[in-house]
Structure 1
């Protein structure tokens, strides 16, 4: 089944983590859940609050900007079903602090030697790989603001 752009069907890398539709990747954002009881914000659509156990949650779009809270550089190809670029290139993996009140684990695009705690980052959404049924799998990363 094709999407509105005439290409293959698109699916999020993890259900409930990206806003839909996925046709215009420039408009896709991370989405989260906010507990109406305690105010806890979490990544993705959730049915229960991990903080208070409440079940009254609302789905909200999350900010497309954040700050690098901490990071590491992955310098060896991960084992198993690695689906990143070939040949393998080192990449940043960091916790990005969003103004929405949560930290999101994310790949960090760009020059790994210029990563710095506190640097401003912007959300990037792109096709990550082609799934087993030919669908485009859409994922997110953060990159240094230009």
Structure 2
């Protein structure tokens, strides 16, 4: 009797950070919240507006593209529970401005020596690592638009 291989469960690296479901990663976006009082947009699912303190927040899917506003290159392996590639490879860490003006801190994929402020970027959603219970942990990064 043949048994089917069941794909591991997928979970977001942080609750409320990504739209769901996570089964088709090409359709997943960053999750945001928009305040009904002041129209402030924030990253993640939030119950309270950090701008005005309002409690009427609507979920919104954020744009899948943006522009590199500023960045740095991480050239040394971060301390602690680092879950990136081994051996360590330098990576970009940038502030990505989305079309609505929201700026998001994100890893930037690609050649770190060719990063430039103003570079058009696209959202990439992927399995980042395997969690302690065997689940696929899904995270985001941005990469140059081709």
| Alignment TM-score, normalising by the size of structure 1 | 0.96
Question: Deviating runs (4+, > 3 A) in structure 1?
Answer: none
Unaligned 5+ runs, structure 1? none
Q: CA deviation at 1:100?
A: 2.3
Correspondences of 1:1-146 after superposition (within 5 Å): 6-146=6-146
Using the alignment, how far apart are the partners of 2:59 and 2:23 within structure 1? 20
3-state secondary structure, aligned to 1:20: coil
How far the C-alpha of 1:101 sits from its partner, in A, is: 2.5
For 2:11 and 2:100, the matched residues in 1 are separated by: 25
SS of residue paired to 1:26: helix
Aligned-partner Cα distance in 1 for 2:17–2:118 = 24
Larger Rg: 2
TM-score (norm 2): 0.96
Q: Secondary structure at the match of 1:128?
A: strand
- Structure 2 alignment gaps of length 5 or more: none
Q: Deviations over 1:73-125 (max 9, x none)?
A: 00000000000000100000000000122100000000000100011000000
Aligned length: 142
